[in-house]
Amino acid sequence: MKKIKWLLLAFIISSSFLSSAQAKVDSIKFFTDEDIVEISLSTDIRKLQNEKLPDVFQEAEVTLTLPGSTPIKEAITVGARGHFRREQCNIPPIMIDFKNPTSPLLSPLGKLKLVIACGAKADDEQLVLKEFLVYKIYNLLENKSFRVRLVKMNYNDTRGKVKPFTQYAFLLEDDKDMAIRNGCIKKDKATYNTEATNRSLMTKVAVFEYMISNGDWSVPGNHNIKLIYDKENKNALPFVVPYDFDHSGFVNAGYALPSEILGTEAVTERVYRGFPRSMEELQLTFDLFKAKKEAIMSVINNFTLLKESYRKEATRYLEEFYKTINNKKEVQSIFIDNARTK
């Protein structure tokens, strides 16, 4: 009888241990779930603010809480990233390196870009939420796109020089994971001309950038564009994947300036930066945008973290785009006659 009691006790202890044991985070599932993740980040914030060199990482500790799960607390490293926002913002955009010997449970996430507010005001946070929406909209149009995960970030300065604060931010899917998910591989800084990429996808990207009024991208310049390659077909042209939309008219950030090269007076002024396409090619692309219109507007209208006034402004702005692509005269003028030639 005693033996049975000891075996039962051992089983209970063992079961309790197994149930409390934490599994590694699934990097693919992490970006398919929609619930908000809560993250507490502790690091030397002043050091992060003052760092000017690229690829310099510093020690940090993160506590990540997935909905319905036990918090995961591990030591990681973080580094400042970006150029423009590093100079202009209170805290620069951050690269979080989860892949460390000290972070076995979070290591599958790899290196992730954390897109954060430029300042401490509520409207700064709203701009981040607008950019988050841009990614969600493009996800509806194309699988070869970066997935994003909304997070509630709690910042703690380990030196006590900066008061703790909390803001919404979002994490950008690792580019290697994005490529693998689409049966592709990635290459860093491979140089291609715009028209040396997959034509139909390049058309979609150029129309999308026009839709949100974003001129801040370049394929040959490797600027806010990633190229991925079909791993089964070495002769296939690379696929273009856009990212970083904070300078778009859809977001309409106060720090985003109109382009002298494009000759615009405001970032909300749309300019098509794609190369000419036939009317038939354009209509195929427009048909997709039209088919997804209801879903796109629903994503915006149901995103209640964004102020109602901004949601209305966003839908009005996109309605202008849809009005344009439904007008054959304007399509001919914008996307064919006045498209770029070099």
pLDDT digits (tens, 9 = 90+) for 157-178: 999 999 999 999 999 999 999 9
What tokens appear for 136 in the block? 């969600």
- Predicted structure pTM score: 0.91
* Tokens matching residue 119: 């300042």
pLDDT at 328 over 60: yes
What's the rounded Cα separation, in Å, for the pair 163 and 281? 54
Judged against a pLDDT cut of 50, whether residue 17 lies above it is answered with no
- Of the given ranges (13-22, 265-274, 331-340), which has the lowest mean pLDDT? 13-22
With contact defined as beta carbons under 8 Å apart, do 177 and 224 qualify? no
Q: CA-CA distance, 124 to 116, in Å (whole number)?
A: 9
Task: Name the residue among 245, 293, 248 with its Cα closest to residue 271.
Answer: 248
Q: Can you tell me the distance from the alpha carbon of 177 to that of 184, in angstroms, rounded to the nearest whole number? A: 9
Round the CA-based radius of gyration of the chain to a whole number and report it: 23
Position 259: which residue type? S
Per-residue confidence (pLDDT) for residue 262, from 0 to 100: 82
| Closest alpha carbon to 175 in 125, 242, 260 | 242
What pLDDT was estimated at residue 102? 96
**CA 219 to mean position of chain CA atoms:** 18
Question: Any idea how long the chain is?
Answer: 342
Lowest mean per-residue pLDDT among 12-16, 100-104, 128-132: 12-16
Number of C-alpha atoms within 13 angstroms, CB side, residue 49?
12
